Amino acid sequence: MPVWDLRDRAAVCGVGHSPYGRRLNRSAIDLAGEAIRGALDDAGLRRDDLDGLIVSFGTPIGADADTLAQVLGLKLRVYNQTWAHGRFTASCIQWAAMAVNAGLANYIACLAAVSFSGLRKPMMGGAGDTEGAREAGGGHGEDPVFGMTSPGAGAALVAQKYFSRYGATSRQLAAVAVAFRKHASLNPAAIMREPITVDDHQNSRFVCEPLHLLDYCLINDGAACVLVTTAERARDLQKPPVYISGMQGLPAGREEFIWAYPGFGVSQQAMFDYEPGLQPVYQMAGVTPQDIDALFTYDAFSILAWMALERFGFCRPGEAAAFTQDGRIELGGKLPMNTNGGLLSEAHVMGWNHQVEIVRQLRGECGVRQITNAQVIQWANAYGDSLIYRRG
C-alpha cells in the first residue's frame, strides 16, 4: 500500500467541450475557452474558482497554456502543459488528482484544444513536423530519411507484425472501425456519423499499407475539458462526482514502443510472450478486468484497440482479433469500447473527448447510447497508462 492512497480521493466534477468539426475556422485558444467555460458551467463553478490548468497536446500545435492563462484572465496557482503529442491524457489527470489532494490547487482544468485546419499542412508527417526530426527519430518511430513519416506509419508497422505473428487479417481489424462508427452514429457531437461496413473498410484506400483510410482517426478542430477536484469538494457540487479510483503511469524505455506493449518486438523491443498480470491500475482501484463495464482507448489507429485489450489482459496476446468480432465491443456487447465513436469517428481531441464521454456514461447522461447501469469505466492504452473511473 502506498503511503498516500489516492483511490477515490480525486473526482471529475465537470466536463465541457467545443463543437467538433473538420474546419471550424476557430483558433485552438478560442475552442479551449469554450471547453473550459462549459466544464465550469457543468460543475456550477465560476472562473475565479479555477486555480489550476493542465494543457495536454500544448505548444506548438495545440492551445498554449501560457496564452490561455493570459487571455482567459485566469489566476492560477498550478499549471503545466505537455508537448504537442497525444498520449498524455491520463498523465495530466493523474497530476491533477495528486495536485488537488496535495492542496496545491482546488479545481484544475485539464484539456486539449487543437485547430488542425488552421495549421500548415505538412505538420503531421511532412516538412513542418517536428516529431520526425528528433535526434534518434520520432516518437512514433518516424525516420523521414527513408520516407518513414507520420504517426500512422508506426501503427502500420505494428499491424503488419501482428498479422504475421498471429495470422490475423485486415478484415478482422475492420470490426474496430465499424463498431466505433456505429457508436458515432448515435452521437450528435460526432463528425463521422454515417455507418460503415467491413467492405467499406476493405475498399477504402491504403494510406500506409496494411492500414486503410478507415483505420485512421480524424484530423479536425475541437477542444474538450475535464475539471478535477478532491472527492470531498466534488460531493458538494451540482453534478454527481465521478471518482478516479485507479491510476497507472505512462511507462517508457527500450521495452516500450508507443503503439505496442512489451515483448511485441517492434522498434528495439525484445520479442517474448507478454503476460500482463493484474496491472497496477486494477490493484489501486480494487477491481479486475471482469469488473469493467466499458473500455475507452486512444484509437488514433484501429490496431491500437487490439493492443490495449491485450496489454491490460482483457484477452491474451493474439486473441484481440477474434475478441473484437461479433459485436463484443459494441454497445450491448460484453465490453463496449469508445461509445462516443472515438478518435476514429467522433473527433480527434487527443482522448479528451473520451474522458468527457466516460464521465457522462457514469452519470447516466448518454441517452440512446447509454450503457445500462455503468458503474466502473476504464481508460487504458496500447502505450500502457490507465485510469479507472467509478460512479459516485
Partner 1 sequence: MTAYSKPLPTISSLNRPYWEGLKRHELVMQRCGDCGKIWYPPAPFCPECWSRAVTWQKLSGRGKVNSWVVFHQAYFPSFKDDIPYNVAEVELAEGPRLLTNLVGVDRTEMRVGLPVEVVFDDVTEEITLAKFRPVRQLS
Rule CB under 8 A: which residues touch partner 1? 122, 125-127, 129, 132-133, 135-137, 141, 143-150, 153, 156-158, 160-161, 164-165, 205-210, 254, 265-268
User: Least Å distance between CB 83 and partner 1?
Assistant: 18
The residue (of 34 and 129) whose beta carbon lies closer to partner 1 is: 129
Q: How many CB atoms lie within 10 A of CB 271?
A: 12
User: Least Å distance between CB 342 and partner 1?
Assistant: 22
Q: Which residue's entry shows cell 441517452? A: 367
User: Least Å distance between CB 110 and partner 1?
Assistant: 31
Q: Which residue's entry shows cell 499549471? A: 79
Element (H, E) at 183: helix 170-184
**How far apart, in Å, are the Cα atoms of 212 and each of 85, 193, 200, 295, 304?**
22, 18, 10, 24, 14
What value, to the nearest 5°, has the Cα angle with vertex 359 and ends 355 and 360?
A: 115
Q: Which amino acid is at 285?
A: A
The residue (of 46 and 205) whose beta carbon lies closer to partner 1 is: 205
User: Least Å distance between CB 140 and partner 1?
Assistant: 12
C-alpha 151/C-alpha 127 separation (Å) is 14
Closest CA to 242 of 376, 96, 349, 354: 376
The residue (of 150 and 279) whose beta carbon lies closer to partner 1 is: 150
The residue (of 126 and 280) whose beta carbon lies closer to partner 1 is: 126
**Cell matching residue 369:** 447510447
The residue (of 149 and 339) whose beta carbon lies closer to partner 1 is: 149
The residue (of 72 and 266) whose beta carbon lies closer to partner 1 is: 266
C-alpha 208/C-alpha 368 separation (Å) is 35
3-state secondary structure 130-167: CHHHCCCCCCCCCEHHHCECCHHHHHHHHHHHHHHHHC
In three-state secondary structure terms, 114 is: strand
User: Least Å distance between CB 150 and partner 1?
Assistant: 6
The residue (of 18 and 150) whose beta carbon lies closer to partner 1 is: 150
User: Least Å distance between CB 252 and partner 1?
Assistant: 13
**Cell matching residue 297:** 482507448
The residue (of 98 and 207) whose beta carbon lies closer to partner 1 is: 207
User: Least Å distance between CB 390 and partner 1?
Assistant: 39
User: Least Å distance between CB 346 and partner 1?
Assistant: 23
**Cell matching residue 82:** 505537455
